[in-house]
């Protein structure tokens, strides 16, 4: 299912996110926001402690209203998953039992395959403080857990949803590097472009007496060439740099005493000027 958000397509599909006994409305809202970021839309709530609907949840959702408005309320976990074909239970703790344990990438790939086959799927997330009970985990088909610091394994519920939502979206991308936009392709600068830039810089510096003392000029030029040939410039970057140099060069010619920035307040110079407007020497 997909809709529109402004002029962009709103992705809204995939497994249901089921929050079991969530506590704070703010956490539910942050879950909704994480879901919307990565194309999930179906939110199911099992006995939220502070009731539903929640203005705190809506505020924290940061305009993920389609998720908040579509949220469904259930009185038990069994009821919340009754119509689903396949369910994952999230946990950061080792559980006794015989259920397969998957990482988020593998779990998301499985969910994507089942979704494509027309199955209804879901992911169970537990309470903020204690997670899912063993009885609730037992209702799922498989367990998904996250590679976290063993000494600090507890995740905020919104963080856990964000991780799974991100992996869900990645599982539907053409590749790991598929992104919503790319940098504009640039034409690499030619050696002639680079030489033109260097000649421009050398001419401007020479006119301002940069190469002093004169016997040091060859070494200074060599150093400058090294600086300007190190990066891989594009033709556009060369153009920008030459524009900057031209602007500085014009300003220096018009202000031969080095008055500073043209935006800087200056005292009026009362020295006589010639017909061309330049100060007479």
Report the pLDDT value the prediction gives residue 280, as an integer from 0 to 100. 47
Q: Looking at the structure, do residues 56 and 139 belong to the same domain, yes or no?
A: yes
Q: Looking at the structure, do residues 191 and 136 belong to the same domain, yes or no?
A: no
Contacts for 146 with CB less than 8 Å, ≥ 6 apart = 90, 92, 103, 104, 155, 160, 163
Domain assignment present for residue 281? The answer is yes
Report the pLDDT value the prediction gives residue 139, as an integer from 0 to 100. 95
Domain assignment present for residue 154? The answer is yes
C-beta contacts of 144-148 below 8 A and 24+ residues apart? 144/88, 144/89, 144/90, 144/91, 144/101, 144/102, 144/103, 144/104, 144/107, 145/90, 145/91, 145/92, 145/101, 145/102, 145/103, 146/90, 146/92, 146/103, 146/104, 147/103, 148/92
* Domain carrying residue 135: 2-171
Q: Looking at the structure, do residues 13 and 149 belong to the same domain, yes or no?
A: yes
Q: Looking at the structure, do residues 73 and 189 belong to the same domain, yes or no?
A: no
Report the pLDDT value the prediction gives residue 266, as an integer from 0 to 100. 44
The alpha carbon of residue 130 and the mean position of all alpha carbons in its chain are separated, in whole angstroms, by 30
Report the pLDDT value the prediction gives residue 238, as an integer from 0 to 100. 82
Report the pLDDT value the prediction gives residue 130, as an integer from 0 to 100. 84
Q: Looking at the structure, do residues 200 and 92 belong to the same domain, yes or no?
A: no
Domain assignment present for residue 139? The answer is yes
Predicted TM-score of the model (pTM): 0.65
Q: Looking at the structure, do residues 167 and 187 belong to the same domain, yes or no?
A: no
Q: Looking at the structure, do residues 22 and 154 belong to the same domain, yes or no?
A: yes
Q: Looking at the structure, do residues 233 and 159 belong to the same domain, yes or no?
A: no
Which residues in the chain land under pLDDT 70?
Answer: 1-12, 95-97, 174-183, 230-231, 251-281
- Count structural domains, the chain: 2
Mean pLDDT, the chain, rounded, equals: 81
Report the pLDDT value the prediction gives residue 217, as an integer from 0 to 100. 86
CA distances from 8 to 11, 14, 131, 184, 220 (A): 9, 19, 36, 20, 53
Q: Looking at the structure, do residues 150 and 113 belong to the same domain, yes or no?
A: yes
């Amino acid at each position: 299912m997909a809709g529109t958000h402004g002029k962009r397509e709103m992705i809204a599909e995939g497994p249901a996110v089921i929050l079991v006994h969530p506590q704070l409305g703010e956490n539910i809202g942050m879950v909704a926001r994480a879901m919307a970021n990565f194309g999930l839309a179906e939110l199911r709530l099992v006995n939220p402690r502070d009731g539903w609907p929640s203005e705190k949840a809506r505020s924290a959702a940061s305009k993920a209203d389609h998720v908040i408005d579509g949220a469904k309320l259930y009185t038990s976990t069994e009821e919340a998953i009754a119509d689903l074909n396949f369910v994952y239970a999230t946990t950061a703790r080792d559980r006794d039992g015989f259920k397969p344990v998957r990482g988020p990438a593998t779990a998301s790939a499985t969910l994507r395959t089942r979704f494509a086959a027309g199955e209804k799927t879901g992911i169970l997330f537990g309470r903020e403080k204690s997670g899912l009970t063993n009885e609730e985990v037992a209702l799922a088909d498989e367990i998904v857990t996250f590679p976290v610091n063993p000494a600090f394994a507890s995740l905020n519920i919104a963080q856990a949803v964000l991780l799974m939502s991100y992996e869900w979206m990645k599982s539907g991308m053409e590749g790991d590097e598929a992104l919503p936009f790319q940098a504009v392709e640039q034409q690499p600068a030619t050696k002639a472009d680079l030489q033109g830039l260097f000649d421009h810089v050398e001419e401007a510096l020479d006119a301002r007496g940069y190469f002093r003392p004169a016997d040091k000029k060859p070494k200074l030029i060599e150093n400058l060439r090294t600086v300007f040939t190190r990066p891989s410039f594009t033709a556009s970057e060369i153009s920008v740099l030459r524009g900057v140099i031209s602007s500085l060069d014009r300003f220096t010619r018009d202000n031969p005493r080095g008055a500073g920035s043209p935006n800087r307040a200056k005292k009026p110079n009362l020295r006589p000027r010639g017909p061309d407007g330049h100060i007479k020497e």
